[in-house]
Structure 1
Amino acid sequence: LDSSTETKEMPPIGSRVRRGPDWRWENQDDNMPGTVVAHKARGYLTVEWDNGNRGKYRYGAESGAKDVRMVDEPRMLPPGMMVAVGVRARRGTDWEWGSQDGGEGSSGVIFKVEDSGIVHVRWDNGKRGNYRFGLFGKYDVEVCPQCIVTEGATGLSDGGSPQESSQW
């Protein structure tokens, strides 16, 4: 699996997590929340903790063990960092993509950041797309840590796999 491939049995990439019921990794997380940044094969995922550490954890592997659990805590970026996986986003000053985000006032979570100035967003309506975040000096989306998840959001279109549209 590559870092953007998702497995429906696991928390979506970009989800916020904390220690789960089967945690056995001492203090790698400094008891802080983290962000799911990748799904690995056979019930494992990669988490980037807010303290900067990164590790592979069980989420269904080894007879269903869950080292992490999902939480509703926004990812706050340290000073000097503009964007990262797990940060909430909304329309930016250069938005020109109609209502694929769910309409004015909608938000989503960034699940992939490319060095080229492109970010991939999973909107609360389940649609996914890639958008300019600095590419050609344009910002289709902006970071919005204060944005909240839309009521009833599933992150999946039609209850199935996320559908991604590509602008770039």
Structure 2
Amino acid sequence: MLEVGIRVVRGPDWKWGPQDDGEGHVGTVVELGRPGSATSPDKTVVVQWDSGAKTNYRVGYQGAYDLRVVDNAPIGVKHPNIICDGCKRQGIAGMRWKCTRCEDYDLCTICYMADVHDVNHVFQRFETANSVGEEMPPRIDGAKIQLRGIFVGAKVMRGPDWDWGNQDGGEGKTGRVIDIRGWDNESGRSVANVTWTGSGFTNVYRLGHKGKVDLKYVQASFGGFYYRDHLPVLGK
């Protein structure tokens, strides 16, 4: 599962200090490694962190894995016929989590990480609609990390892929994220709805859709929690 648009956090072989602005901060895969390139060799990816920093990371290069997948909904992963038994939404976007103890009980990532359902129960993680389920340990024993970045409430400004003129009121102007949503049926949780402070103008901006990132945060916001060892390692 190596595609531009995947949302990531630091992984098991991370050794890069605060390049991501700290554990739990989120970024977007914006470029895949190019075989034979000295700056971006095969088995690496380029990540645009929500803070605005942008760097290469290993996804199998020299046997190291720097990243975990926190959300693959922005690349269009969906389980169209599965209802989340937590939030009751039809068609789970991103990874699906299935209880192995209860009959026909599934959760989306947001509900799973929010401890919906019995945390002593073992779940299987399905990364895509066609993947084989991988059994996870009970959440009650897991290391829980706070998720931070461009979520509802974040203070943002134009970022690296900005292509929208002065919708934000001009260079250096800021706004607030009021919603994170999908782009029609193409991708999920892939755009941020922003209201710009000076003008009051509101529009949606790319946050992983087709691997583009229009924003960076001035002040990160809280996006819930995740269980570190329950997330798939990018590239494995």
TM class by shorter-chain length? Answer: 0.3 to 0.5
Question: What TM-score results when the alignment is normalised by the length of structure 1?
Answer: 0.43
Higher helix proportion: 2
Please tell me whether Structure 1 or Structure 2 has the larger radius of gyration of its CA atoms.
2
Structure with larger RCO (C-alpha < 8 A, sep 6+): 2
